[in-house]
Structure 1
């Protein structure tokens, strides 16, 4: 199927649902910089100033430079393709005069980077084009609209994330048997990424490796720290397949010489993290707000005597690892309105958290799931037991 065309059709239906007359992307030189929704509803590169206009009446109009027009026409994605030679301003004014939208949604947002694709420069250009018309006064932020468009995954989108999650699990199964005491974090990451590529995917982000407590989890690159006996190996990785992403965390404990029993401290922390993922998965129901799911995780941590994690419990997955829309997170300033957005069936999230143990490492797990009327449906086999080597 042409997934881009299917998302265009979904976009026009969503405009009608949300009582928005028109939504536009205004871009140029998309090989250099493109709107985060470009691949979702355009999918072809544009060179000169280009307007992609979608309406609640079902229209999808591409106004592009003359040398770009043939490719857009051949794609079959647009109900109309118009081209220009000298400049787009007159054609944009005429097009908006014809459509005459009462509301014109543009991609700017203070809360959601996936809805913030209109650059300041292109905003100024559009403003100059529309001087003397009523249309700049009718502009609204598209952040709620694009959040829903990205978040409401079509069945094919969910299937693609699921394939990426399964591929990540299979790559991890192949990789973990190759990991040995004495390897550096960098060497371990290379093994994981080699197996990801061997399975037909690419890493969806740079693999994160923590060899025991020698390095901190987060978004840093692997170091030359070496895996030693008594370390808990923590790996955060993902796969991109067919343009969609997965994101998992997995654990392996490497025993000290003569060690026959795993520490009670480690096993309690692992069981707590595993339980939180189970319980928050059950709570991730349509209509629930993200901060409510996150609050449950924090309450279970406190009840078990652990400090809270310093991030959101989960983010959405799709074409991007952080795919925008609602998050499962606290009502902190850095997350804006996103934790308050109600969940919907078909939203795809991670569930992730960690407990830090001194001299052992990061007890962190991450799973990928889709929201259903019964709660979370996990998209690949979970890690429910601590692997020990």
Structure 2
């Protein structure tokens, strides 16, 4: 699998007339090599090198059979890298301009006198947007755990329990049931706080009449899942029912529209226009969705700026919301795989308004 990814990366290098690339972003290192320790890669048109220190040498040799493993001293890791690059005779070397710090860039460049150092953005992230079958199966497993965690937490929601206690129970359940960790810090926001799209759990106690928004995901073998559900503690009032039904219908329309060849901004527009027609346009201020994989937020974007055309194998969220200050909010989020003529929805939790 890694050899195929190396080949794809080399084709990209050739197309852009690059002799090689230094890979420093952890997610990209793992994607290309399978290595999850500390270090960096240099991939040229002929060679693939993994640079790390003593702590990870044994691990790197075991995990990365397609790479030459080179040990460096932590004092100046790029010195050893520069010596290898010069011995190869590269005329230029690309680096991840969106990730490498200025300090490390200047250090690298100081060792590479005579080699042109070129900034690139998203070269490997572009490869990562389309998931292969192995990746899709892992993401499916992560989402299965997430769905089970939502079903589990419904039995714990009651007046008097705090947002933080609910978040802790979700995270404990996911780890106990096969997750290596959480995909991102769990969001639990209740009552008026549910108008906060990324409300951090607090000691606020659940009260009758509250909207409660849960946004969380599991991480399995480095891959993320993501879902959001909003429930109500007790009997919903008229305004709560109205807002929930609008968000649900907006998501339904987006899911019916989404498929290969349409752009992210066009999918976003379907949901956004419907919410605006109902008078809540100003209350939907975030993007409709985003890619999910090794990172919880990655390409492509389903937003007003999402120019990328969707392709089969991309994994994205579809998550419209309405947020009203001092009242509360609703978000409903599913995780889907793009197909030629639609999508496969990985999220199985009910989207009917659950009244507890």
Contact 2:13 2:19 in 1 (8 A): yes
Return closer, same or farther for 1:175/1:329 CA change in 2, 3 Å cut-off: same
1:30 aligned residue = none
1:173 aligns with one of 141, 147, 151: 151
In the alignment of these two chains, the number of paired residues is: 351
Is it true that 1:381 corresponds to 2:348 in the alignment?
yes
Contact 2:27 2:295 in 1 (8 A): no
Deviation at 1:328, TM superposition (A): 1.0
Deviates more, 1:155-164 or 1:208-217: 208-217
1:200 aligns with one of 178, 184, 202: 178
Is it true that 1:161 corresponds to 2:139 in the alignment?
yes
- Structure 2 residue ranges without an equivalent (≥5): none
2:65 aligns with one of 69, 74, 77: 77
Deviates more, 1:11-20 or 1:210-219: 11-20
Contact 1:244 1:318 in 2 (8 A): yes
Measured against aligned partners, the alpha-carbon deviations of 1:83-103 in whole angstroms (never above 9, x if no partner) come to 5679764763553563535x6
**Alignment RMSD, CA only?**
2.9
2:232 aligned residue = 253
- Structure 1 residue ranges without an equivalent (≥5): 27-33, 110-115, 257-261, 332-338
2:106 aligns with one of 121, 124, 139: 124
CA distance in 2 between partners of 1:74 and 1:227 (Å):
49
Measured against aligned partners, the alpha-carbon deviations of 1:209-264 in whole angstroms (never above 9, x if no partner) come to 122224542334212222122212211111112221111111222225xxxxx544
Return closer, same or farther for 1:244/1:71 CA change in 2, 3 Å cut-off: closer
Measured against aligned partners, the alpha-carbon deviations of 1:283-306 in whole angstroms (never above 9, x if no partner) come to 333333322222222111112222
1:52 aligned residue = 41
Deviation at 1:178, TM superposition (A): 2.0
Return closer, same or farther for 1:287/1:215 CA change in 2, 3 Å cut-off: closer
Deviation at 1:357, TM superposition (A): 5.0
CA distance in 1 between partners of 2:321 and 2:81 (Å):
54
1:95 aligns with one of 61, 85, 94: 85
Deviation at 1:107, TM superposition (A): 0.4
Contact 1:62 1:78 in 2 (8 A): no
Return closer, same or farther for 1:291/1:20 CA change in 2, 3 Å cut-off: farther
1:39 aligned residue = 30
CA distance in 2 between partners of 1:209 and 1:94 (Å):
49
Normalised to the residue count of structure 1, the TM-score between the two structures is 0.79
Return closer, same or farther for 1:225/1:374 CA change in 2, 3 Å cut-off: same
